[in-house]
């Protein structure tokens, strides 16, 4: 089955700096890659996603890049703010119904 590795597990940045979270996947058939943000005690919320026919997607301060050859994708957050502090999960889907999730990255933005 699919295996998703996510790094780093924790990340601290100063407010206004950029944050980058990286994920790798194992199944070359994977064609959908969402990112979820989970605030403490709350449900994961989809923040951005990318499909395998696209190399990059941007939504305001958030961007995701995909390298199909290397089987890795990354989340980029620019101009970080304290409200960006949360746990972020990457995921991959390989043509079946289930998403396989990474183990999460706890992002702390220091004011």
Partner 1 sequence: DGGITQSPKYLFRKEGQNVTLSCEQNLNHDAMYWYRQDPGQGLRLIYYSQIVNDFQKGDIAEGYSVSREKKESFPLTVTSAQKNPTAFYLCASSVPGQGIYGYTFGSGTRLTVV
Q: Which residues bind to partner 1, rule: CB under 8 A?
A: 6, 9, 30-32, 34, 36, 41-46, 49, 51, 89, 91, 93-104
Question: From the CB of 16, what's the least distance to partner 1, in Å?
Answer: 28
- Kindly tell me which of 16 and 97 has the beta carbon lying closer to partner 1: 97
Which residues, other chains included, contact 11 with Cβ-Cβ below 8 Å and sequence gap of 6+? 19, 21, 105, 106, 107, 108
Question: From the CB of 39, what's the least distance to partner 1, in Å?
Answer: 11
- Kindly tell me which of 19 and 34 has the beta carbon lying closer to partner 1: 34
How far are the Cα atoms of 3, 49, 61, 78 from residue 19, in angstroms, in the given order?
23, 17, 11, 7
- Kindly tell me which of 74 and 101 has the beta carbon lying closer to partner 1: 101
Question: From the CB of 44, what's the least distance to partner 1, in Å?
Answer: 5
* In the block, residue with structure tokens 């970080």: 80
Question: From the CB of 15, what's the least distance to partner 1, in Å?
Answer: 26
């Amino acid at each position: 089955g699919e295996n998703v590795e996510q790094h780093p597990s924790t990340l601290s940045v100063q407010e206004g700096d950029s944050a980058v979270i990286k994920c790798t996947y194992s199944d070359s058939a994977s064609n959908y890659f969402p990112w979820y943000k989970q605030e403490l005690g709350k449900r994961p919320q989809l923040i951005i996603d990318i499909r395998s026919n696209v190399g990059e997607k941007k939504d305001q301060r958030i961007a995701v890049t995909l390298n199909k050859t290397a089987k890795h994708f990354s989340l980029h957050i620019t101009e970080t703010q304290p409200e960006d502090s949360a746990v972020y999960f990457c995921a991959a889907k390989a043509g079946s119904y289930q998403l396989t999730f990474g183990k999460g990255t706890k992002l702390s933005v220091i004011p």
